[in-house]
Structure 1
Amino acid sequence: MRKRTFILSTGAIAITCMMSGCSILSGKTDPQGGTANNGQGSPNNPIMLTIRHTQVKDTQKKRLAMLQEVVKATEAKVPGLTITLDGVEDKVNRFEKLRAEMAAGNPPEIFDLFGGTDTKDYVKANRLLDLTPILQELGLTDKFYSFDEFTVNGKIYGIPMAGYVEGLYYNKKILAAQGIKPPQTWDELLAASAKLKAAKITPFAMAAKDSWVINMMINTMWVRTAGTDSIEGFLNGSKHWTDPEVLKAFEQYQTLIQKDYFQDGSLALAYAEQQNTFSSGGAAFMFDGSWANTPLLDPDKSSIVNDVGFMNFPSMGGPGDGYINGGWSNAYGFSQKVTPDQLMAIKEFIKQMYNESMQKRQLVEEGMPPAMKLQDTSHVNPLVTEIMNVFTSSKGSFPAFDSRIQTKVRERLERGMQELLGGRTDPASLMTDLEKQQEASNKEETHTTK
């Protein structure tokens, strides 16, 4: 889910990693993890809120439990309040359900919100609550590392749940057994992959049925070869998908495909299978986001808890070498259409969700680094510490392309990468198609803003 600084010290910690929200209600539980109000408060003055969350996977049970605790505490503080949890898979929420609700003008009062382009589009449609005065009132404005991806025209419209960072996870035990050091260059990565394949070990865990998954690594690769300003260049026309330095990254990605370095049958595998393969010791590398910490560090789901390493993607000889994909892209957003009573309840929810205790629990229990600046950073998992150190030692960060690029371009890239993986297109053809769509989307965007 980027240009920030992370700090690891005895007094403060700044890190990036994707996290979604968590929750608990009181009383009778609904099928989505919510509960009805148990009678506390004033039945003559009911207040109803719905929270759209994305904690629906088996690996997110702890996060859901934390959200449920926040909801229970909020209900206890606000007489007559009933909160319903509506759990929806994250991709369905972002690209289908929430988008349709925003178009119709009826989103839930509280919802999982993606930063960048999504937030800007919803602000333009006048759907999001301006949180600037609320954060000031609650004394939270200076407590977060960054609101950048949720700030439009100087106003804040989303409160980050946590950060994220993307990079290369590796199995320390497998690499050591093969006499392979963590590769620092593209050539070293190719050599390591060749040696692993010869030993009948899958070099890369990969599940490409969910198209966004396949685009994580290629995003970092074209930034390596074309620079951190490539996305803005595509948007303003100063760079093109067909530029040689962009094409180079896709050609090198195709090399991995042609040499069969990815997991067999990846086009038919859902995202969870990528993590399952890696966590069971079935592959040496996995490019993923720091949200993957949860299943990787769960001894009930992972056989490599003590063997996981994390590194920045190897250098590829371009201007983007040494930079890392990271930032704060997932947040809670709030509907602009709320009553004064609902607004009061929303403020209490924010107080219960965004505090030292909840952010520390997310860090320690889930390995999900906080969005807020913590005073106590003890008992941090070694893998999380390693991720922070990788971020700290990077040249800088850049945002994921899908937080900036237009929807039609993102969709074309997703389809194209699946076609490339399946051998149905080649890098040059894909870049030509992408450039056509980019030019059309830029033209359409310019027309609509006039």
Structure 2
Amino acid sequence: MSSRALVTRRTHRTRLALLTTGVASISLLATACGGTGGGTSTTPKEFSYLSVTENTTVKNALTSLSKGACKPAQEALPLKVETVPQASLDQKLQLLAGQDALPVQFAAGNAPALTQQLENSGKVADLEGELTKLGVFDQLEPAAVSTIKALYGGKMDVLPYEYNIEGIFYNKKVFEVHGIKAPGTWAELRDAAAKLEAEGIQPFSASGQQGWPLTRLISGYLHRSLGPDALQKVADGKAKLTDPAYVKAAQEVADLGKKGYFGKGVGSIDYDTAMNQFLSGKAAMFYMGSWALANIADGKQNKVGAENVGFLPFPAVAGGKGSVDQYPSNVGLGIALSEKSFDKNTGAWVSCIAKNYGSTALKDHGAISGFKVNTEVKDANEVTTQVRDTISSSKQNVLWFEALFSTKATTVSQTNAAGLVSGSLSPQQFMQTVQDALAAK
């Protein structure tokens, strides 16, 4: 599986930035789109695809398909890829939408709200309807469809070129040497961290600079303690982040930071550094998504050995309403298609992608998608098999902390997460700050 090395750490950093960074100006987009609808249907001359410079996985997989299984679609409608820096994606989408010039296929905006605005303006194809007409809707994993609809107001606005679940990767060798069993409860997780810290081993690696790896811990605790609808209740106005049970979740995560379990200077640690800390054996645990499997399988990055990496769900909270088999999930770099250019040739491409992308992405790039894998692909290691089996058997998934937040609240949450674990912000202050940003949307 040397091909897994092709997926760079930069790619994964960008992938998560796309999932979590809310920088889009929705009001600007609304002005640009002006409710003009999808425009006059046009016949595209290319299978144009707008992606981000930092992410190469989808582009490379589509290129492979264009030379193989999707060659007939390629001959009728040649693939053409354009990239922009991730930080410029939303601005580019707004500009193209305002000009009624969106490409056939494009990376969704940094926050679901941006894509929903495009959909409301008639710019985005109804993918559930289109795939059903093409007879390939059953090529999508049900869990991925469920996650997309949870993110996009019940609509199938994007294709799941990636599908990820999240949990805690841990160093099995370190756990074994120090007599620690994989924790199944929050109390056991804290005990394991305390033992590791006492024996001079950093318990957790996390990027405070990114922020979301820390806020994911808050939502994990909320889902286990209050149930899978904990954050939906906040979005619906039935609960507030400042309610005592919600503040307690922030307190639990803050306590981990207070005890030094994230190491020194967590606020300055970026994504790549956090990944390296775990893969080099400097930290025993790493909360992350299944996109990290490509890094884990890459011998150049992973110095502890893939055979020494385990995966466990976010632990149970005593007396909580949630279940450990409810995994946080996302669809990575969601890809939308333009409504007005979805014609027969576009449909041929989409049909071929639905049938073949899952196998190609897994075999060539070590990436798990939301498409079914229709050919046998040997996994690189045991932990990859474990995660794939978990995804296939998953019955109920939950979203991450900021998934239902406004773009402003998303930014506020992630930029203040490091302050929560460093002690410069109290749990009450942190949750109040984010709640205020939600109220201001």
Does the 8 Å contact 1:75/1:82 carry over to 2?
no
Give the direction of change, closer, same or farther, for the CA distance of 1:196–1:104 in structure 2 (3 Å limit): farther
With 75-84 and 431-440 compared, the bigger mean Cα shift is at 75-84
1:123 is aligned, of 98, 119, 123, to 119
Give the direction of change, closer, same or farther, for the CA distance of 1:102–1:191 in structure 2 (3 Å limit): farther
Q: Which amino acid aligns with 1:326?
A: S
Determine helix, strand or coil for the equivalent of 2:102.
coil
2:355 corresponds to 1:336? no
Q: Which residue of 1 aligns with 2:188?
A: 188
Does the 8 Å contact 1:19/1:330 carry over to 2?
no
Q: Which residue of 2 aligns with 1:368?
A: 367
How many pairs were matched up? 393
Q: 1 CA distance for matches of 2:103 and 2:274?
A: 32
Give the direction of change, closer, same or farther, for the CA distance of 1:50–1:208 in structure 2 (3 Å limit): farther
Q: Which residue of 2 aligns with 1:198?
A: 198
Q: Which runs of 5+ in 2 are unaligned?
A: 1-11, 16-42
With 102-111 and 222-231 compared, the bigger mean Cα shift is at 102-111
Q: Which residue of 2 aligns with 1:178?
A: 178
Give the direction of change, closer, same or farther, for the CA distance of 1:144–1:87 in structure 2 (3 Å limit): same
2:295 corresponds to 1:295? yes
Q: Give TM-score, length-normalised by structure 2.
A: 0.78
- Written as runs of structure 1 = structure 2, the 5 A alignment for 1:139-150 is 139-146=135-142, 147-150=145-148
Determine helix, strand or coil for the equivalent of 1:158.
coil
Q: Which residue of 2 aligns with 1:319?
A: 321
Q: 1 CA distance for matches of 2:412 and 2:141?
A: 33
Task: Give the deviation of 1:396 after TM superposition.
Answer: 3.3
Q: Which residue of 2 aligns with 1:84?
A: 80
Task: Give the deviation of 1:133 after TM superposition.
Answer: 4.3
Q: Give TM-score, length-normalised by structure 1.
A: 0.77
Q: 1 CA distance for matches of 2:73 and 2:361?
A: 22
CA RMSD of aligned residues (A): 3.2
Does the 8 Å contact 2:160/2:331 carry over to 1?
yes
Q: 1 CA distance for matches of 2:391 and 2:354?
A: 24
Deviations 1:350-409 (A, max 9, x none): 2342224x3123234444334233444552342122224555787832122433222222
Task: Give the deviation of 1:108 after TM superposition.
Answer: 3.1
Task: Give the deviation of 1:269 after TM superposition.
Answer: 2.4
Task: Give the deviation of 1:99 after TM superposition.
Answer: 5.2
With 94-103 and 419-428 compared, the bigger mean Cα shift is at 94-103
Determine helix, strand or coil for the equivalent of 1:160.
coil
With 419-428 and 97-106 compared, the bigger mean Cα shift is at 97-106
Task: Give the deviation of 1:69 after TM superposition.
Answer: 1.6
Determine helix, strand or coil for the equivalent of 2:371.
coil
Q: Which amino acid aligns with 2:105?
A: I
Does the 8 Å contact 1:402/1:410 carry over to 2?
yes
Q: Which residue of 2 aligns with 1:28?
A: none
Q: 1 CA distance for matches of 2:81 and 2:236?
A: 40
Q: 2 CA distance for matches of 1:373 and 1:46?
A: 28
Q: Which residue of 2 aligns with 1:53?
A: 51
1:70 is aligned, of 57, 65, 74, to 65
Q: Which residue of 1 aligns with 2:358?
A: 359
Deviations 1:66-116 (A, max 9, x none): 2222344557645574533233455x3665544565466543331122685
Give the direction of change, closer, same or farther, for the CA distance of 1:97–1:170 in structure 2 (3 Å limit): farther
Does the 8 Å contact 2:73/2:349 carry over to 1?
no
With 287-296 and 129-138 compared, the bigger mean Cα shift is at 129-138
Does the 8 Å contact 1:149/1:329 carry over to 2?
no
Determine helix, strand or coil for the equivalent of 1:169.
strand
Deviations 1:288-338 (A, max 9, x none): 000111111111221222111000011222222423212546432112343
Does the 8 Å contact 2:358/2:374 carry over to 1?
no
With 113-122 and 259-268 compared, the bigger mean Cα shift is at 113-122
Task: Give the deviation of 1:258 after TM superposition.
Answer: 0.7
Does the 8 Å contact 2:52/2:89 carry over to 1?
no
Give the direction of change, closer, same or farther, for the CA distance of 1:64–1:280 in structure 2 (3 Å limit): farther
2:269 corresponds to 1:274? no
Q: Which residue of 2 aligns with 1:13?
A: none
Q: 1 CA distance for matches of 2:95 and 2:155?
A: 24
Does the 8 Å contact 2:140/2:354 carry over to 1?
no
- Written as runs of structure 1 = structure 2, the 5 A alignment for 1:124-273 is 124-146=120-142, 147-151=145-149, 156-273=156-273
**Structure showing the higher helix proportion among its residues:** 2
Q: Which residue of 1 aligns with 2:37?
A: none
Give the direction of change, closer, same or farther, for the CA distance of 1:190–1:155 in structure 2 (3 Å limit): closer
Q: 2 CA distance for matches of 1:394 and 1:354?
A: 20
Q: Which residue of 2 aligns with 1:14?
A: none
Q: Which residue of 2 aligns with 1:309?
A: 310
Does the 8 Å contact 2:186/2:316 carry over to 1?
yes
Does the 8 Å contact 1:127/1:337 carry over to 2?
yes
Give the direction of change, closer, same or farther, for the CA distance of 1:429–1:77 in structure 2 (3 Å limit): closer
Give the direction of change, closer, same or farther, for the CA distance of 1:216–1:46 in structure 2 (3 Å limit): closer
Q: Which amino acid aligns with 1:319?
A: K
Q: 2 CA distance for matches of 1:69 and 1:391?
A: 25
Q: 1 CA distance for matches of 2:363 and 2:402?
A: 29
Q: 2 CA distance for matches of 1:217 and 1:163?
A: 20
Does the 8 Å contact 1:295/1:302 carry over to 2?
yes
